Chain A
Amino acid sequence: MRKDRKIRIVLAKPGLDGHDRGAKLLVRIFMEAGMEVIYTGLRQTPEMIVATALQEDADVIGLSSLSGVHNYFFPRVTELLREKGMADVLVVGGGIIPDEDIAGLKKAGIAAIFGPGTPTTEIVEFIRANVRK
């Protein structure tokens, strides 16, 4: 990534889940951390999310789900990224995600899962450390 460029992050709510308090909070946190944030809003399919990431030239995709559909939606996003040759986009997730699901999600290419109570500073630091350079 060019040094003069800000980290570009697409924040998305996959599926029909309407719990967006965390996502909206992170929009502001990421903006304050000097990132460019594109928030998709609710009701996104994996195809819509990846299309947004492509169009916005995103470095990072953040997925938020509190309705229990992460095992379907998150791996589908990384699969589509690989198909489109965008495998270097960092994908992170958050929400209500049982510990036992995390290993499977990481195997599918989700770099990190941030559960309830995670300090937002930890998320920002992780992204800075792991985004494509």
Chain B
Amino acid sequence: MTQTIDTYPHYAAAYAAQADEELPTLRRLRTRGWDAFQNLGLPTARRGNEPWKYTNAAPIAREVFAFGHDLRAADVGLTLADLRAAAPWRDDWRTLVMVDGVFAPALSDGIAAAQSGGLTIAPLPDALDAGGAVLGSLAAPEDDGFTALNTAFMRDGAVISIPAGADAGVVNVVYLTTGREQPRVTYPRTLIDAAANSRATVIETFVGPDDVRYLTNAVTEVKVGEGASVEHYRLLTEGMDAYHVGVSRVLQHKDSAFSSVSIARGAALGRNDFGVKLAGTGAECTLNGLYLTKGSQHIDNYINIDHAEPYGTSRMFYKGILDGRSRAVFGGNVTVRKDAQKTDAQQTDKNLLLSEYAEVDSKPSLLIYADDVKCGHGATAGHIDADTVFYMRSRGLDLSTASRILIHAFASEIIDTVALEPLREYLDEQFQSAIPDANLSLSFGGRQ
């Protein structure tokens, strides 16, 4: 135990320096998180550590991050225009903005704790009545060192609590890191608690400046009640020097539906650890994702679906476009437990390698303990198909247009699954403005 503290003295110092928390729920959670961290440390050991087989967390563990307690968002001088440039934004969405881990009321819109009918969309400290019971129950700090740290330093975040039968509309949560006081760490925390037969659409955007080293250690918990339906989007657009470790845990009850699209393009070292448990019969889950890497980026998607009850349906579909010397990791697990008969699960990972120095490590696994199931998975990796390019050129398209069309088509298969139309348009526009060039000589005879 003491060894862990010796290894991470800066975390111990930051924990000791935290002001005494007045809210008992937060105080209890922080203690629990810190106790867990002392046992766990960070997952830096690689040998025999399957979840971190292809990603080295050591650079994150080595870095000493500042954890500002006193910064107020108002001091930053960010305007609405800055926000709209950094993240998707619309008038008719409710928007919650955290700047450097702290709620920024001036940039937020349409939020309230316990509105009429019991709907809560509020920053975390104001919403502990609504969310306190669920916090820490889905993403247990005891499971993972990063979650433990997030819990130990929990301060602010977004709570979206939807009463039975209600519709929360679209909630846009933006976690923005500025370049102040670096290297800095923030601990965003999002909680979505959708009661029976309720509906919600939630966008989480993580964004920050390039050329600044910082860490975002985010935890999201989503409880989808019986018959409820939650649509979730996760946009990872951190700066190109940033570290991001995000842990999302979803618990689905009977006949609930959860769909998520995760787009990862930012962060020097980014990890999206997404876990869904189908804990009621007839639950449906769709997890789609697109990862775009370039330069020396390293993006790791670690996606788990756990079928614990019968008649569940899940679809996992991730695609990657890799350029430069970047590396992408896909670790997908679908577990079907003994009782989860009649499960229908599909898992797919497809990769497009644009550069001869890019690397993809894909590990799509199925763990099946029930017999009456329909499960399958597939994975591919390759370059742009030379025959297709030839076909397009024979119809008068130049090489670069042909490659742009093909790469766009590859990505569209994921972007098109975004049901929220304004967001889909936003993402498509963003993608089109930054389509990487394919080194097409690779299609024709390999590297020279």
Binding between chains A and B:
no
Q: Which residues of B contact A (CB under 8 A)?
A: none
Q: Which residues of A contact B (CB under 8 A)?
A: none
